């Protein structure tokens, strides 16, 4: 076996260049797992009537400052930002803001306001790398814009829950809260401010700094000191207007109606400033401290904040890295490998290398996957490689056979070997591929 840079046991020199910390290669053996999640995301989104959108990786920095919020960990600490002349550009740390910007730029609020959109792609955050958390990570997200209908909140949760169910994670728990809106949000903010002010010195330095700028962000802190002080903080559900409470109760009833387990959790506030009304997280309690699978919610003012008309909107996002780690923990991560080529073309003598290339190309043009030996191995070694490589068929090229216009074909599953005319090779391999 030939080892390359980064492989176990490979001697790294002082001049070796490695991937930046928090950025990982997806090697061929890793990709089938990611592609399984991608395939499921595309399939489910289509079932729910969502259309794919692909915003750019780079956006104007101001987009995230205005949407995610100036006083958030993402904007304050975690963005990859580049200054270019008069422009400040940022690698997207989350997907919603870019989708909303694209929605506005396409002119949809004026002519096609109701849009169901989804994306699958990389996000970037300058966080401390740890198991299940990288600085580049893939997210699947859905965004439904143009309606205040609480059934769409239910639909978003249902889509997320079905994603995990079809991966084998059954019994997911929906934790639900409301962030309110308008005057009830303002009244709640003042109640939280009074609560924090009475014990401000007991909070973390970050929370003390946020006290004046955005006191609600203190509720989202994971610092143990803040968590302790927030235990008896006011809950927004006690401040909801009649309209917002009706919306919340409608979502709760809808989730129960489709058979999802719902737990009202007033401590869920999510980490982004744009949320209004519904916020939710999906949990799998058996995972303990890492039970959270994904989250999302409604953001009815974000389109307006970015220059558009008042527009109801709801969505969620799920990270692939954490999902794969969860599947691994639950013993649901199947060992998936890329499918090997159907045919391995072996030659009995070196002079037939050109013929191997020609036949392999002929097969590929005919829709058959084929590989040939490119390491000048002896015929016996080629046979061993064909068997070890998981190929379905072995095609043996010999001078005598080629002069007669035939080739030897061996079915590596049944060990049956026979000669057949070269002209019949493609049809026979097509039949073999159909049985594979």
Residue 156: band (very low, low, confident or very high) from pLDDT cuts 50, 70, 90: very high
Give 350's contacts (C-beta < 8 A, 6+ positions apart): 376
Q: How many helices (H) and strands (E) does the chain have?
A: 16, 16
Apex 113 CA angle, 242 and 153, nearest 5: 40
Residues 289 and 193 sit within 8 Å (Cβ to Cβ): no
How many alpha carbons lie under 13 Å from residue 253 in its C-beta half-sphere?
A: 8
Structure tokens of 31?
């990709």
Structure tokens at 371: 């590989």
Matching residue, tokens 């010195």: 201
Least confident residue range of 7-16, 319-328, 394-403: 7-16
Kindly state the percentage of the chain with pLDDT values over 90: 69
Enter the DSSP assignment of 14. Answer: T
Percent of the chain beyond pLDDT 70? 95
> How much is the average pLDDT of 321-330?
92
The C-alpha atoms of residue 361 and residue 375 are separated, in whole angstroms, by 18
Residue 6 has pLDDT above 80, yes or no: no
pLDDT tens digits, 91-119: 999 999 999 999 999 999 999 999 999 99
Q: What is the mean pLDDT of residues 68-92?
A: 86
d(CA 416, CA 431): 15
DSSP one-letter code for 336: -
Is the domain 31-181+241-329 a CATH 3.40.50.10490 member? no
Q: What is the pLDDT of residues 376-397, one digit of tens each?
A: 999 999 999 998 999 999 999 9
Cite the beta strand spans of 8-114 per DSSP E. 51-52, 58-60, 81-84, 87-91
| Mean pLDDT over each residue of the chain, to the nearest integer | 90
CA distance 129 to 150: 37
Question: Rounded mean pLDDT of 137-161?
Answer: 97
Give the gyration radius of the chain's Cα atoms. Answer: 28
Judged against a pLDDT cut of 50, whether residue 309 lies above it is answered with yes
What pLDDT is stored for residue 9 in this prediction? 53
Dihedral sign, Cα of residue 11, residue 15, residue 16, residue 18: positive
**What's the token pair of residue 310?**
């008042």
User: Is residue 239 left, alpha or beta, with left meaning phi > 0 and alpha meaning psi from -120 to 50?
Assistant: alpha
Of 120, 21, 26, 30, the closest CA to residue 328 belongs to 30
Chain centre to alpha carbon of residue 346 = 40
Confidence of residue 130 (pLDDT cuts 50, 70, 90): confident
For the segment 219-255, what is each residue's pLDDT rounded down to a tens digit? Answer: 878 889 988 988 888 888 999 999 999 999 999 999 9
Matching residue, tokens 């996002």: 317
Which has more pLDDT, 46 or 14? 46
Q: Cβ distance 69 to 272 under 8 Å?
A: yes
CA 186 to chain centre: 35
CATH 3.30.930.10 residue ranges in the chain?
31-181+241-329
pLDDT tens digits, residue range 291-304? 899 999 999 999 99
CA dist 408 to 277, 375, 388, 405, Å? 69, 21, 19, 11
H helices of 296-408, where?
302-305, 320-329, 353-365, 379-388, 399-403
CA distance 103 to 299: 14
- DSSP secondary structure, 22-36, as one string: T-----TTTHHHHHH
pLDDT of residue 1: 32
CATH 3.40.50.800 residue ranges of the chain are 343-435
Look at domain 343-435 and name its CATH class. alpha beta
Which 3 state secondary structure label does DSSP give 163?
helix
Of 26, 20, 22, 25, nearest to 38 by C-alpha is: 26
Q: What is the pLDDT of residues 187-196, one digit of tens each?
A: 988 998 899 9
Residue 323: pLDDT above 80? Answer: yes
């Amino acid at each position: 076996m030939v080892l390359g840079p980064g492989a176990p046991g490979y001697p790294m020199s002082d001049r070796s260049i490695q991937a930046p910390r928090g950025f990982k290669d997806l090697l061929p053996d890793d990709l089938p797992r990611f592609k399984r999640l991608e395939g499921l995301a595309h399939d489910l989104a289509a079932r729910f009537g969502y259309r794919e959108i692909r915003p750019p990786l780079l956006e104007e920095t101001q987009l995230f400052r205005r949407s995610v919020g100036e006083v958030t960990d993402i904007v304050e600490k975690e963005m990859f930002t580049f200054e270019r002349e008069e422009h400040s550009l940022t690698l997207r740390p989350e997907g919603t803001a870019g989708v909303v910007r694209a929605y506005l730029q396409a002119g949809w609020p004026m002519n096609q306001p109701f849009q169901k959109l989804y994306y699958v792609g990389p996000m970037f955050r300058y966080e401390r790398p740890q198991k299940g958390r990288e600085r580049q990570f893939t997210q699947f997200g859905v965004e439904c814009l143009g309606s205040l209908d609480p059934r769409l909140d239910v639909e978003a949760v249902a889509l997320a829950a079905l994603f995990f169910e079809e991966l084998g994670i059954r019994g997911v728990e929906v934790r639900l809260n409301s962030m309110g809106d308008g005057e009830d949000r303002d009244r709640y903010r003042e109640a939280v401010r009074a609560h924090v002010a009475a014990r401000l010195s007991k909070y973390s330095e970050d929370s003390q700094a946020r006290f004046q700028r955005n006191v609600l962000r203190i509720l989202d802190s994971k610092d143990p000191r803040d968590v302790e002080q927030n235990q008896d903080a006011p809950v927004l559900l006690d401040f909801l207007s009649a309209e917002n409470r009706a919306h919340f109760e409608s979502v709760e009833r809808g989730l129960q109606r489709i058979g999802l387990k719902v737990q009202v959790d007033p401590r869920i506030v999510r980490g982004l400033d744009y949320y209004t009304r519904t916020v939710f997280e999906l949990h799998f309690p058996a995972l303990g401290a890492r039970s959270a699978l994904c989250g999302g919610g409604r953001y009815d003012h974000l389109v307006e904040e970015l220059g558009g008309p008042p527009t109801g909107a709801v969505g969620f996002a799920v990270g692939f890295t954490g999902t794969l780690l969860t599947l691994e923990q639950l013993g649901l991560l199947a060992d998936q490998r890329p499918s090997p080529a159907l045919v391995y073309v072996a030659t009995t003598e070196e002079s037939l290398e050109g013929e191997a290339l020609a036949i392999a190309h002929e097969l590929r043009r005919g829709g058959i996957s084929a590989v040939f030996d490119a390491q000048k191995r002896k015929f016996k070694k080629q046979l061993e490689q064909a068997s070890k490589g998981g190929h379905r068929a072995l095609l043996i090229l010999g001078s005598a056979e080629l002069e007669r216009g035939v080739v030897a074909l061996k079915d590596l599953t049944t060990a049956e070997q026979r000669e057949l005319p070269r002209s019949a090779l493609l049809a026979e391999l097509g039949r073999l591929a159909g049985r594979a």
